[in-house]
Structure 1
Amino acid sequence: MPQSISEFIFFKVRPEVRPEDPHSEEGEALLNIFRSTKQQSGHQNSAWGRTVEDEDVIVWVVDWTDARGSTTAINLEPFLAPTAQPPTALYTTLSPPISSTDTLTANPVTEICALPFPSSLTVQETKQLNAELINFRTALVEHLPQEDGPRSWAMGHIDRPNMVQHAKSPSGHAVVHLLAVGWETVEAHKQAKETEQFQQSVAPIREKMLPPVPGLEMKHVSFQKI
């Protein structure tokens, strides 16, 4: 059975586009775009939310039954801020999958973190990185007190595009791993970052990691189900 694919779409809207406001005509029009996607073949679940870091930036997540599912970015153009870059869509197979558990909408806030690494990593370096990411998860999920740690943790590498351009990468390209981590609050995440468990387990990952891809810096989102 094919694994479900999660599509993450990042885009910046004009301030008057407010889907959460029932009196916002443009917000309602954007919601209709979201809702219409539910009628597409392969749609499982979807959610949207604004980022804490910039409330004009929206993250729209759609879970598809397989890799054939896709949104249509051109439908978002009427809502984009004048200076915004085109919407960015990332497709990933998360483990554990978020589609069957409503993970994103159950979290009070979800950290979305895209971690870029040089595409020139060797097979052995890639294996080591994967082990370090698993260790990072274990350190926070299992070794922090339950009330201080993440509420959920899903991660996977980006399948499409399988590489992105990156000026700081020796090869000029980067592979990206995506983390979707649930927290009680943004402050809880900040406090976890100060712990010994976090700092020790993230250190070897940071040694390999490139600077964030523009537009894909770490974000915190409170998701609403569509």
Structure 2
Amino acid sequence: MPSSHIVTEFIYLSLKPDVKPEDPDNDGGRLFINSLNAVKQRCGYLSSSWGRTIENENNVVWIIGRISEMLEWKDNTGCVPLSMFAPVLDPETQPIAFHTTLTPPLNDILTTAPVIELAVLAFPKDINPPERTALNNDLINFRSTCLQLTDSKPPSAFSMGWVERPGSVPHQDSKSGRAQLIVLVVGWESREQHEEVRKTTGFGNSIAPIRERMLPAIKALQMRHVKFKAAN
């Protein structure tokens, strides 16, 4: 299937501390897994993976691949009715959903790479077409540089895509009050490998022009590292 027909949906959840999906005898965990399974019958479902973040084990990311022509949006931003997770979520948090078309498509990287870096970068919504083209070129160069590093072990994969839904989000540091987002999905052997790469000259030089245009990170979407497992 052409990659242009595959939409990737990202869902960020914060579980209650006593919810243990890894334990088949845990009531909250069973409810979480049952909710994952219920989604497989809707909206052009292809496959999905979920995992806890290394930074906070109660934070979970669920990534779903779908056929774009069969999507039916729920809760304004995604195909999954996020309200079904309410019983297992930290009541002080809100689930987040967004979707994109990734280049290249993820294939099996989510379950073959030991650690996945998820970085959501924010840029002004009102960036003009020439600036957008220059930014896209800088992002492509950054990806190529990372994958071809010689002074440190490079990542095993690197996909990225502009967030298509929602088309923009509120951001107080943007002149228009809105920001557009791009998500980076990068495969690493460990978080430590990622940290070592960030120290290299190639990484620093290639990300510099991107950082010049970036807005401050959105707290709820800050970079995270996840160990994924297949949900299907």
TM-score normalized with structure 1 length? 0.95
Question: Which amino acid letter does the alignment assign opposite residue 50 of structure 1?
Answer: R
> Which stretch shows the higher mean deviation, 133-142 or 147-156?
147-156
Letter in 2 for 1:151: S
SS in structure 1 of the partner of residue 68 of structure 2? coil
Structure 2, unaligned runs of 5 or more? 73-78
Deviation at 1:144, TM superposition (A): 3.3
Contact 1:144-1:197 within 8 A present in 2 as well:
no
Query: What is residue 66 of structure 2 aligned with on the other side?
Result: 64
Q: Residues 66-215 of structure 1: matches in 2 within 5 Å?
A: 66=68, 68-69=71-72, 70-84=79-93, 86-98=94-106, 101-144=107-150, 148-215=153-220
TM-score (normalizing by structure 2): 0.92
What are structure 1's unaligned runs of at least 5 residues? none
Query: How far apart in 1 are the matches of 2:45 and 2:206?
Result: 36
Offset of 1:41 from its aligned partner? Answer: 4.2
Give, in angstroms, the shift of residue 92 of structure 1. 0.4
CA shift for structure 1 position 29: 1.1
Identify if the C-alpha distance between structure 1 residues 208 and 15 changes in structure 2 by more than 3 Å, giving closer, same or farther.
Answer: same
> Deviations along 1:189-225, whole A, 9 cap, x unmatched?
0000000000000000000001111210000000010
Runs of 4+ in 1 over 2 A off after TM superposition: none
Tell me the SS of whatever aligns to 2:176: coil
**Correspondence for 1:225:** 230
**2:185 partner SS:** strand
Distance of 1:97 and 1:187 partners within structure 2: 25
**In the alignment, which residue of structure 2 is the partner of 1:7?**
9
Aligned residue pairs, count: 222
Q: Measure, in 1, the Cα distance between the counterparts of 2:173 and 2:54.
A: 27
Residue 22 of structure 1 deviates from its aligned partner by 2.1
| Deviation, structure 1 residue 23 | 2.3
- What is the aligned partner in structure 1 of residue 76 from structure 2? none
Aligned-residue RMSD, C-alpha: 1.3
Partner Cα separation in structure 2 for residue 177 and residue 72 of structure 1: 23
The AA in structure 1 aligned to 2:135 is L
More helix as a share of residues: 2
**3-state DSSP of counterpart to 1:223:** strand
